[in-house]
Structure 1
């Protein structure tokens, strides 16, 4: 037999033996997931305008809103971290530096913030459900769902001691003081009048909340590869990512991480370990160690995870759920019978974790507004005291 005939036969046999990769069949439960809408819904009493968004952006980056004029909303909600930050729990008042270099100035008597800073990105969709009308004014906010809507959420960090208020003003004094500063600033006074009208006082608590909320509502990332897949582009995900999605569903993750935001926005007790940044234990909503299901959107730059920031990677989060299913409780203050039954019933297997993480990366969309103003009307440092 000639050598080239032999090579041809061997090559043909090899081709015939190779099995083409097949699309994994979708397992039951994909209807629990969903694509995000292309735009956010505004509350009836706070329609979005470009001017209102621009005013809200300036306020978000201006430390004029903090008691000691050293912290802005953007100090702990940075665009490079999907409007969260890479810290276990935040350093607000009396802090210095940014990101992992942020630290308290000395002397210091201000505690760390109570919980991990949640991403502002896509908060405009909090509470959204498949095939249901969305009410922006009812959107659940914070780890314990203590506020509804971005308008109500916007003012609470200003009133919180360790986040923005500091010790110079009481909780009752801080907002009147902030409004006084804004009214004295001709740029802010003029912009508030332009946006909200000048027939009566334009700089009010309600309008401050509306401007901040309107800006935050503009920070969305609704076109991840997963969104494209759910809208009909079957090639948007690789075979491995589709397999990871099926494992995500099969494990039972979507029982809580459901809907377009991959969260049911309900409170669940999981026994997550406390942060060591504060002496007291965080008992969550109603003292039951229950916290809201976090969204899984844009996790690429929002580590560490969970309300206490105790897990540095998604792999660690999934191993934690494997421990729960195996009967382990990592927080000694939580009793086994308190652990959520949905979490106990999950079927997480170590060998599948890498595939699930691969799928979760398809929920990232880096195409969102990251613009930072060059200066703010107060003349204070943009983003607050972030210089090391």
Structure 2
């Protein structure tokens, strides 16, 4: 096994990683990612997958750890992408709280390169940690149904399009998104993902959990040729990260019973990944704040002041609820904070057809990310009643958990914040919450941007009123940052 992994890894470096540093959209402003940086992340992914596969035979039959263990192998398997070079974990690495771990990307465009390395998606990868606690999407329009009325609660992805309604599991439906996304793993058909799983060494574990007929599929002779070509179906009108059922063709010719088996196995893959994301390895509730709630740690004076501001003057707990034995620090609702446009996104420049004829963004710089509003208008939204309220949700995005918001591999590692990665530090985020409505407007790139002025919101409609004139001092902002750092998992007390 070790010899095979070494050979595969060597080929990956030569055939995949090497060209990546030069394979950027022309004129995109997207930085060339150093090959060594890509290599380090890829090696971490490969090593984790190899260890997970090696440990699978030692799982006891009937053990509750078996499904999360399978989910982990799937999560770290880059062979499930069209070019066999990108796992789910590539955009969701443990050392960053299951977000992007390519610092060069975080500094600029924030969207990670896809399996087709010249393609970049629209938004920053959301955290996979704790996402499993978001319920299937509902529209709360009855008093008492939720803390808000006429609001959406639940779902996954920044725009809630992983509703969870079909599987009653939003995270499982999210796990079905990236494998088909043309700008991410880019498989042209769910059948291609199932085909790749059937060829992997962990197939026996999959079959022992989900049944011996999981891969009882009669494949056409040309299946591998078809599955080696990327998904070139344009995204739906929302410019989302994954085409929905209305726009993803079934390009592998299968008999009806085989197509039904593919869907069932694809669902089982997704449920396995969701089980892994719910496991203590991904969502452990092991931060200093958790230890504080349990009476096993003390907060510093700055952290205590920040906690008081979080639940008081700063009004953070209006959306990032800190209550309960194991608080999620999100109410799973949506909000438009008025975040400025991030001109560094490569997506704005992906206006020409690539070598496969795919055009990610035909409108170029004119594109405006309306978030939930565009999802509600799209074919991916099957609820006609929800379409009627789309305009009320323009500019709104899912309220993310604040857990692991500061998790990073080293103290000076740069993370990106916000759905478009406009912010590059917690201090910038807190300063924006504090002064959005106080400081003057300025052009992007102007002197003083993010300190003494802010560019206009990308979407000025439906702005949140729970911020952004808080009257906090500079030291108050620093105290809030100190508190947010207590939400990093892996705390070891004195």
What is the CA deviation profile of residues 55-93 of structure 1, one whole-angstrom value per residue up to 9, with x for unaligned ones? 211111112211221211111111222211242221122
Q: Distance in 2 between matches of 1:263 and 1:118?
A: 13
Asked if structure 2 preserves the Cα contact closer than 8 Å seen for 1:76 and 1:92, the reply is no
> What's 1:349 paired with?
473
Q: How far off is 1:160 after superposition?
A: 0.7
Q: Is residue 318 from structure 1 mapped to residue 430 from structure 2 by the alignment?
A: yes
Q: Distance in 2 between matches of 1:339 and 1:348?
A: 20
Q: Closer, same or farther in 2 for the Cα pair 1:334/1:193, shift >3 Å?
A: closer
Structure 2 matches for 1:1-388, cutoff 5 A? 49-86=64-101, 87=106, 88-95=110-117, 108=118, 110=119, 112-126=120-134, 140-147=155-162, 148=164, 149-165=170-186, 170=188, 174-185=189-200, 187-198=201-212, 201=215, 204-218=265-279, 219-233=282-296, 235-249=297-311, 250-259=313-322, 260-275=327-342, 276-277=344-345, 278-279=347-348, 280-287=367-374, 288-301=394-407, 303-326=415-438, 330-335=455-460, 338-344=462-468, 346-366=470-490
Asked if structure 2 preserves the Cα contact closer than 8 Å seen for 1:139 and 1:150, the reply is no
SS in 2 for 1:326: coil
Tell me the C-alpha RMSD between the 2 structures. 2.7
Q: Distance in 2 between matches of 1:225 and 1:200?
A: 42
TM-score when normalising by structure 1: 0.68
Q: Distance in 2 between matches of 1:270 and 1:48?
A: 44
Q: Distance in 1 between matches of 2:421 and 2:479?
A: 23
Unaligned runs of at least 5 residues, structure 1: 1-46, 96-107, 133-137, 369-388
Asked if structure 1 preserves the Cα contact closer than 8 Å seen for 2:339 and 2:457, the reply is no
Structure with a larger share of its residues in helix? 1
Asked if structure 2 preserves the Cα contact closer than 8 Å seen for 1:84 and 1:117, the reply is yes
Q: How far off is 1:208 after superposition?
A: 1.1
Q: Distance in 2 between matches of 1:48 and 1:364?
A: 29
Q: Distance in 1 between matches of 2:75 and 2:158?
A: 21
Q: Distance in 2 between matches of 1:292 and 1:93?
A: 26
Asked if structure 1 preserves the Cα contact closer than 8 Å seen for 2:319 and 2:399, the reply is yes
Q: Distance in 1 between matches of 2:63 and 2:476?
A: 43
Q: Distance in 2 between matches of 1:339 and 1:353?
A: 22
Q: How far off is 1:200 after superposition?
A: 6.2
Q: Closer, same or farther in 2 for the Cα pair 1:350/1:48, shift >3 Å?
A: farther
Q: Which has the higher contact order (CA 8 A, sep 6+)?
A: 1
Q: Distance in 2 between matches of 1:48 and 1:265?
A: 31
Asked if structure 2 preserves the Cα contact closer than 8 Å seen for 1:318 and 1:353, the reply is yes
Asked if structure 2 preserves the Cα contact closer than 8 Å seen for 1:252 and 1:347, the reply is no
SS in 2 for 1:341: coil
Q: How far off is 1:199 after superposition?
A: 5.6
Q: Distance in 2 between matches of 1:146 and 1:125?
A: 16
Range moving further from structure 2, 306-315 or 257-266 = 257-266
Range moving further from structure 2, 64-73 or 156-165 = 64-73
Q: How far off is 1:358 after superposition?
A: 0.9
TM-score when normalising by structure 2: 0.54
Asked if structure 1 preserves the Cα contact closer than 8 Å seen for 2:197 and 2:203, the reply is yes
Q: Closer, same or farther in 2 for the Cα pair 1:144/1:48, shift >3 Å?
A: farther
Range moving further from structure 2, 194-203 or 244-253 = 194-203
Q: How far off is 1:201 after superposition?
A: 4.7
What is the CA deviation profile of residues 185-234 of structure 1, one whole-angstrom value per residue up to 9, with x for unaligned ones? 4x34322211112266577111111221111221113122211222345x
SS in 2 for 1:240: helix
Q: Distance in 2 between matches of 1:366 and 1:241?
A: 17
Unaligned runs of at least 5 residues, structure 2: 1-61, 137-144, 146-152, 165-169, 217-261, 349-366, 375-393, 409-414, 442-453
What is the CA deviation profile of residues 234-284 of structure 1, one whole-angstrom value per residue up to 9, with x for unaligned ones? x52122211111122221111111141211221111221223212133221
Q: How far off is 1:321 after superposition?
A: 1.3
Q: Distance in 2 between matches of 1:200 and 1:281?
A: 42
What count of residue pairs does the alignment treat as equivalent?
291
Asked if structure 2 preserves the Cα contact closer than 8 Å seen for 1:48 and 1:214, the reply is no
Q: Distance in 1 between matches of 2:458 and 2:479?
A: 33
Q: How far off is 1:355 after superposition?
A: 0.9
Q: Distance in 2 between matches of 1:94 and 1:55?
A: 26
Q: Which runs of 4+ in 1 moved over 4 A?
A: 199-203
